[in-house]
Structure 1
Amino acid sequence: MARELVFYTNPMSRGRIVRWMLEETGEAYRTELLDYGGSMKSPDFLAINPMGKVPTIRHGGTVVTEAAAICAYLADAFPAAKLAPPPESPERGPYYRWLFFGAGVVEPAASNAALGFEVPPDQRALMGYGCLEDVLNTLEQAVSGGGWLAGSNFSAADLYLGAQIGWGMQFGTLPKRPAFERFWERCSTRPAAIRARSLDEALMPAAPGKPSAS
């Protein structure tokens, strides 16, 4: 018997990334819509994710939080979707590299910049991302080739990093460099991305609140 896949989200959150990933897998899932300050902080949900944040998934008895981790989990849980290179493949290294570059480097660098925080040059060694300009240049180089980040196939790394780029350009936390715009265009026009956006947009009136840092 298949394990139930439950998706806890709010359409004004990074749950949009996971929705897209779920649509890419083609697997059936059930959506639990949570609101900020209410059901997201309820005892029932805090028992699932003590941070009281979305996105979160529950796959049978397995709970996964954090958008990048969820994408990585789903890619491995549903290999038929081919959203991750095989473990023994040489593409597995770049796959991990760019998936977690998005989570551990791009996101904090862009968030700090949006808050007006600039790392002093003599303190850059303390930050995992160093400085924003290095992050942007590295990101630009990674997506400039016209292919995908981990070989010839689209993967969860492209989805997650592409979502970071699209979100960043939309809200002004990343500049609209031509390479970023081209990469986002390729990612965002995938049928699963279009379906995911449509599903989340349909839920917007039912989900009052403000964007989450989940």
Structure 2
Amino acid sequence: MLTLYHAPNSRSTTILALLHELGALDAVDIRRVDIPRQDGTGARDPANPHPEGKVPFLTDGEDWVRERGAIVAYLCERFPEAGLAPMPGDPLRGRFLSWLAYYQGVMEPVVVGQMMGIEHPAFYATFRDTACMAARLTEALSAGPYLLGETYSAADLLLYSPFAWFPQMCPDVPVIRDWVARCAQRPAHDWAQAQDAGGSA
């Protein structure tokens, strides 16, 4: 059986929302674990098999998946009937996978760097800067309400997530702010937040 190791109010909340979107809650064992927090609370949980004690971490029998982009792709392929990702052969498949990789390799480092006040030419050359990130999002969202056009996908769920957690980090661009608001209005967003607040999943 699939098992998700999840810590409330963390990066794994995105995967909790994804499971709701996929209609896969009954097919996945959600195990709450503790993690060290930025404020000094929490601790590494021996019940969490992630090699660094982080979340999310997904196991599937003897196999495992870590990093949110990979977990999103894996779960969407396991539950294709939900229609949250273009499957192999779909003309939007490459764009979907590119957005997942863009989040991990560009967007999250840029947002975290902004939060930390990092300003360095090598950082910008490697990961880009906030203006470049905003330009890529604006280009995509100018063609439709979602990253792949007219249809909401798991790429939207992943990429809007940092701006839902840290609204002050969201670029002050109307098309991006409207997109974040649309994504946050989906029932899975409120459901995941309620699960984390209520202490159960």
Same fold (TM > 0.5): yes
Residue type of the alignment partner of 1:35: D
What is the CA distance between 1:86 and its match in structure 2? 2.1
* 1:176–1:10 distance in 2 versus 1, CA, 3 Å: farther
Matched, 1:19 2:23: no
Q: TM-score, normalised by structure 1?
A: 0.81
Greater RCO (CA < 8 Å, at least 6 residues apart): 1
Post-superposition Cα deviations, 1:74-99, rounded to whole Å, max 9, x if no partner, equal: 00111111111121011111111222
What is the CA distance between 1:5 and its match in structure 2? 2.1
Matched, 1:142 2:146: no
Give RMSD over aligned pairs.
2.1
Residue pair 1:8, 1:55 contacting (<8 A) in 2 also: yes
SS of residue matched to 1:21:
helix
Tell me what 2:177 maps to: 181
* 1:39–1:109 distance in 2 versus 1, CA, 3 Å: closer
* 1:56–1:85 distance in 2 versus 1, CA, 3 Å: same
What is the CA distance between 1:19 and its match in structure 2? 0.5
Q: How many residues align?
A: 193
Q: Which runs of 5+ in 2 are unaligned?
A: 37-41
Q: What is the correspondence of 1:2-151 to structure 2 with a 5 Å cutoff?
A: 4-27=1-24, 28=26, 29-37=28-36, 40-42=44-46, 44-45=47-48, 48-120=49-121, 123=122, 126-127=125-126, 129-151=127-149
What is the CA distance between 1:144 and its match in structure 2? 3.3
Post-superposition Cα deviations, 1:140-161, rounded to whole Å, max 9, x if no partner, equal: 2222333322243221111111
Give the % identical residues.
33
Q: TM-score, normalised by structure 2?
A: 0.86
Residue pair 1:99, 1:158 contacting (<8 A) in 2 also: no
Q: Which runs of 5+ in 1 are unaligned?
A: 205-214
Post-superposition Cα deviations, 1:24-61, rounded to whole Å, max 9, x if no partner, equal: 1111122211112567342x42xx21111011112233
Distance 1:119 1:131 in 2: 10
Distance 1:149 1:136 in 2: 13
* 1:51–1:79 distance in 2 versus 1, CA, 3 Å: same
* 1:13–1:40 distance in 2 versus 1, CA, 3 Å: same
SS of residue matched to 2:44:
helix
SS of residue matched to 1:40:
coil
* 1:81–1:40 distance in 2 versus 1, CA, 3 Å: farther
Residue pair 1:168, 1:175 contacting (<8 A) in 2 also: no
What is the CA distance between 1:22 and its match in structure 2? 0.9
Distance 1:147 1:100 in 2: 20
